[in-house]
Amino acid sequence: MSAATTTPDFASRASRLAGLLGELEGFVASDPANVRWLSGAAGEPHVLYGHTPLWAVVGPGGACRLVAAAADMAWLADLVDTDEVIPYGRFVFAGDVPPRLARLATPTPLEQALAEALEAVGAGARVGVDDGMPLTVQADLAPKLAPRELVPAAPLPIRARSVKDEYELERMRRANRIAEGAIVRSLSRAGVGASEHDILRWLRTEMVEQGARPMLGSVAFNERGALVDTVPTDRTAERGDVVRFDVGCTVEGYHSDLSRIGTIGEPDAWVRETYAALLAGEQAAIAKAAPGVRPSELYDIAVAVTRDAGLPEYDRSHCGHGIGLQIYEPPLVAPGHDEPLRAGQTLCLETPYYVLGRAGLQVEDAVVVTADGCERLGTASQDLIIV
């Protein structure tokens, strides 16, 4: 089956999470990334703001139900089987209202809907929760759900979704390739007089036109590029300027996070030589990534090769991170992070270098760990982009 025809296997995902429960007897996922992974449900209020609870409840045998606001039932019908959604609250629709929506006019308390979902999936006394449920909500629910107990267990769904399936990888490939193309095309329009805001606007327009949602958007010239995740300004480009991109977008919730360096006109020797050293370090880490390799090893090789390639003073707190439905996921590519990589994990590898008062230089790419190495999720050149 080709990647283009794959569909998410939500039942398998819920079973994967259930297999990690240990002494727990159920799980309530409330973080939007976890809910989306388990069910495909992702509404604007929840993805952007976490405005109202939308929870995926998983039982010890892998059964799954959604708990959703009554107002969300209409749009959820486009994404999920509403027979497996237990609504709370009250909402009134006008017009020719089907029975499944008419019943929403009768109010249902949140705790009642959650209790019904827990019963439906066969949850026991100790139920794990992730970090998406505010502590105040947990405290309010605790006496109402007794004798069931809500137990903090945020790492479990993160581990369950750390190995990506082909459906997820296809969306991540698209997100990375859209971001790559947007960098090249936006920079091709730039020249002397173009502002940071101009380039960011062109870049985001390209992303939207290709079907992605723009997210991370740091575009900065020269010394402003050393300010890490700085906000673009009306600063205009001059000949010889360095343009640092640290940008990304999402496709159906899956992130890209990509860094490239462009120059307005020919770069000077320092830029060429420094970027070459950073690229050598990043590429060495990519070449090393494989099942069984520790993230700390990738950090060590990225730093060591960058130093040997011409930046003996190079130092970093980390040289990458996991990525998926969240832009930062485990593992961190840093000292002390020693759990071996597994095939199917996705991570960004990067070698940023911030020289205050001069420039920020960086190269960053996402990869998926394969059976015998890794594969870049993007395809574009990693070379300096000269316009």
CB 27 within 8 A of CB 127: yes
- Residue pLDDT, tens place only, 322-361: 999 999 999 999 999 999 999 999 999 999 999 999 999 9
Q: What does the pLDDT read at residue 307? A: 99
Predicted confidence at residue 43, as pLDDT, reads 77
Domains of the chain, CATH where assigned: 3-160 (3.40.350.10), 166-386 (3.90.230.10)
pLDDT of residue 44: 75
Quick one: pLDDT at residue 5? 47
Decide the pairing of beta strands 346-350 and 85-88: unpaired
Residue 2 has a pLDDT of 40
Residue ranges of the chain with per-residue pLDDT less than 70: 1-5, 48, 50
Which residues have C-beta within 8 Å of that of residue 332, sequence separation ≥ 6? 295, 318, 320, 321, 322
| Backbone region of residue 357 per phi and psi (left: phi > 0; alpha: psi in -120 to 50; beta: other values) | left
What does the alpha-carbon distance between residue 254 and residue 87 come to, in Å, rounded to a whole number? 27
pLDDT of residue 3: 42
What does the pLDDT read at residue 99? 82
Cα separation values, 373 from 121, 124, 169, 332, 343, Å: 39, 41, 16, 18, 8
pLDDT of residue 78: 86
